């Protein structure tokens, strides 16, 4: 039976609350924005069976919920501040699930420097549904946007691509993963916060729906053509061994950054990203928004720009 809501909040969520939350005891939170900063807001919902598996540990479900939102803040060049949390779970959810879920939240609050401001907890006849609304901040006019790529700019990615899509296949029993690396990349993505790319990157977004589809989003927002070199896409050893072009090009859940960088800014970019692996995988050009794949994988794979879509 679901512990009573007040008891649940006091026990598991109040310890996560920070400045502005009023101890989760009032009707709403009061947030004083940092002086001279713009607020940056983002929300992501995760649903059991759609975004995470019933077998995923509750602490990693919590961490992924924060991290997919933190990745959006990273894509905007923002610094995290706090978040609102809405938890809808079946009545028979065990207290132990809440304890582990809150433990995961606490771990990543500590790691990324944010705290709980408020939210809501309800029961639902459907699967678990967890929504976080993150609040970050940025200097006015310094947010990174998707619209600034120009012909000649390089297309760059952080980290490695395709691991999370392969990790999902592992958790679905479709693939081997002796080290657990791929599954961990699916369950706990790494948001690339704090790179300081204002004035260096001309456009930025995070890769959530697949490399090709998200590249197309940058093309459209910036009104440029783009060539992506399949052979240049950075792969982990596990992804290279898996040899699955569809997972690399159209798999979702990478939560790496996809950036355009003018050639003149490359030294500054490499200096700013000194602690994160970055790889140039393409170049923007004059032309209608379109993605061309250079050095494509052999048949039978067909380049698919649609990637992942819910509808």
- For binding to Mg ion (CB under 5 A), which residues are involved? 72, 206
Burial of 245 (0-12, 13-18, 19+ CB in 10 A): buried
Q: Min. distance of Cβ 162 from Mg ion in angstroms?
A: 17
Q: Min. distance of Cβ 66 from Mg ion in angstroms?
A: 14
Q: Min. distance of Cβ 68 from Mg ion in angstroms?
A: 8
Q: Min. distance of Cβ 209 from Mg ion in angstroms?
A: 8
Cβ–Cβ < 8 Å for 272, 204:
no
Closest by CA position to 257, among listed 196, 302, 184: 196
Specify the DSSP class assigned to residue 21: S
Q: Min. distance of Cβ 42 from Mg ion in angstroms?
A: 8
- Tokens 């052999």 map to which residue? 298
Cβ–Cβ < 8 Å for 106, 16:
yes
Q: Min. distance of Cβ 186 from Mg ion in angstroms?
A: 17
Structure tokens at 32: 């004083």
Q: Which is nearer to Mg ion, 42 or 265 (CB)?
A: 42
Q: Which is nearer to Mg ion, 163 or 209 (CB)?
A: 209
Buried b (16+ CB within 10 A) or exposed e, 248-286: bbbbbbbbbbbbbbbeebbebbeebbeeeebbbbbbbbe
Cβ–Cβ < 8 Å for 206, 195:
no
Q: Which is nearer to Mg ion, 43 or 99 (CB)?
A: 43
Q: Which is nearer to Mg ion, 18 or 194 (CB)?
A: 194
Handedness of CA 15, 21, 24, 25 (dihedral sign): positive
Cβ–Cβ < 8 Å for 27, 126:
no
The H-or-E segment that residue 268 falls in is helix 266-272
């Amino acid at each position: 039976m679901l512990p009573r809501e007040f008891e649940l909040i006091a026990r598991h969520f109040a310890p996560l609350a920070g400045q502005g939350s009023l101890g989760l005891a009032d009707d709403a939170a009061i947030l004083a924005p940092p002086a001279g900063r713009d607020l940056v807001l983002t929300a992501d919902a995760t649903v059991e069976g759609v975004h995470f598996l019933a077998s995923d540990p509750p602490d990693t479900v919590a961490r992924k919920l924060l991290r997919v939102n933190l990745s959006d803040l990273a894509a905007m060049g923002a610094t995290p501040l706090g978040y609102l949390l809405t938890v809808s779970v079946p009545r028979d959810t065990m207290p132990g699930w809440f304890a582990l879920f809150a433990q995961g939240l606490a771990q990543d609050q500590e790691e990324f420097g944010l705290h709980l401001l408020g939210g809501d907890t309800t029961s639902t006849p459907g699967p678990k549904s967890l929504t976080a609304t993150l609040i970050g901040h940025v200097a006015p006019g310094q947010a990174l946007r998707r619209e600034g790529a120009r012909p000649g700019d390089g297309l760059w990615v952080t980290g490695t691509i395709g691991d999370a899509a392969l990790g999902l296949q592992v958790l679905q029993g479709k693939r081997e993963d002796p080290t657990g690396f791929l599954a961990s990349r699916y369950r706990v993505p790494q948001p690339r916060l704090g790179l300081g790319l204002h004035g260096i990157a001309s456009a930025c977004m995070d890769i959530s729906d697949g490399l090709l589809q998200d590249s197309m989003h940058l093309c459209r927002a910036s009104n440029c053509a783009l060539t992506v070199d399949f052979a240049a896409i950075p792969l982990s050893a596990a992804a290279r061994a898996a040899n699955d072009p569809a997972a690399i090009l159209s798999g979702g859940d990478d939560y790496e950054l996809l950036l355009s960088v003018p050639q003149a800014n490359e030294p500054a970019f490499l200096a700013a990203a000194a602690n994160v692996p970055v790889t140039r995988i393409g170049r923007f050009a004059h032309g209608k928004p379109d993605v061309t794949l250079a050095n494509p994988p052999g048949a039978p794979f067909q380049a698919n720009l649609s990637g992942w879509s819910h509808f």
